[in-house]
Amino acid sequence: MRVAAGQFAVTPDWPTNARTCVSLMRQAAEAQTSLLVLPEALLARDDNDPDMSVKSAQRLDGGFLRLLLDESRHNSMTTVLTVHVPTTEGRAANTLVVLRSGEIIARYQKLHLYDAFNIQESKRVDAGNALPPLIEVDGVKIGLMTCYDLRFPEIGLAHALQGAEVLVLPTAWVRGPLKEHHWATLLAARALDTTCYIVAAGECGNKNIGQSRVIDPLGVTLAGAGYARQLIFADISLEVLRQVRAQLPVLTNRRFAPPQIM
């Protein structure tokens, strides 16, 4: 199965960002991609206004997603991204959506909000309280995660114990001391924790690192992007995954109970 991760610098203008997403979707579909992952919080971003993502929040039937859903009707590809959806006055939910054949087939409200490194996502964003169901793409079971979730091994393990073979991760990974090292280390660690493939898309620009990655179940990078707009591809194999899990049966050797949400 061919997977892709697309990255770009989100602008303050949502129609511009929607057109960029549509362009990446078309390129991925033309390359016979089954699963495309785009970054986190794609509606709008402004380097001078840290609250722009929430201020620009749209309902799931808003103009931004209508444009992307219109594009998804023209192919059989599954596309994953996140947007902010209004909740109460001045607040929003960081919501991952899965698009296929012109429909939203799954959604997930981000569990772990980024209250770290002098940033407080929870100031304007409401956390979710439930794991999403697994989705299936070409017979492959997919677990859904968003950005800061990567730092919490329980969510990936919970997905893997339910049968996930791939973990997808839209992100806007903020720049800072050692942050790129954290990114690379955590992606490899989560792949090894779960013996899953990981498809991670990172928003780029002045504030975020980009560096989208496709990681195999042994923590090896199969495809990687730099700092600018880019679309990367990799082919993943359930046969390879089965071989890895036979050699490294961490999911069956574990001695702890499955994780659960508090």
- CA gap 24, 22 in Å, rounded: 5
Q: From the candidates 21, 71, 110, 203, which is the catalytic residue? A: 110
C-alpha separations of 262 from 88, 125, 129, 170, 229 in Å: 24, 19, 9, 24, 38
> What is the structure's pLDDT at 87?
97
DSSP 8-state class, residue 134: P
**Residue 110: active-site member:** yes
Distance CA 225, CA 230 (A): 6
Question: Pairing relation of β-strands 213-215 and 221-224?
Answer: antiparallel
Tokens at 199, concatenated: 């498809």
Instruction: Annotate 212-245 with b (16+ C-beta within 10 A) or e (fewer).
Output: bbbbbbebeebbbbeeebbbbbbebeeeebeebb
Retrieve residue 35's tokens: 């699963």
The pairing of beta strand 35-37 with beta strand 78-86: parallel
Identify the active-site residue in 21, 147, 196, 204: 147
**Distances, alpha carbon 69 to alpha carbons 29, 44, 158, in Å:** 14, 18, 29
What is d(CA 102, CA 153) in angstroms, rounded to the nearest whole number? 32
Q: Which of 21, 40, 203, 204 is an active site residue?
A: 40
φ/ψ of residue 60, rounded to 5:
-65, -15
> Is 123 among the residues known to form the active site?
no
Does residue 207 carry a catalytic annotation?
Answer: no
What's residue 119's pLDDT?
95
Q: Block means of pLDDT (10 residues each) for the chain, length 262 residues?
A: 98 98 98 98 95 96 98 97 97 98 98 97 97 96 98 98 98 97 98 98 96 98 97 98 98 96 90
Alpha carbon distance, N-terminus to C-terminus of the chain: 35
Residue whose structure tokens are 């990567």: 150
pLDDT at 93: 98
93 neighbors 113 (Cβ within 8 angstroms): no
In angstroms, the CA 211 to CA 228 distance is 9
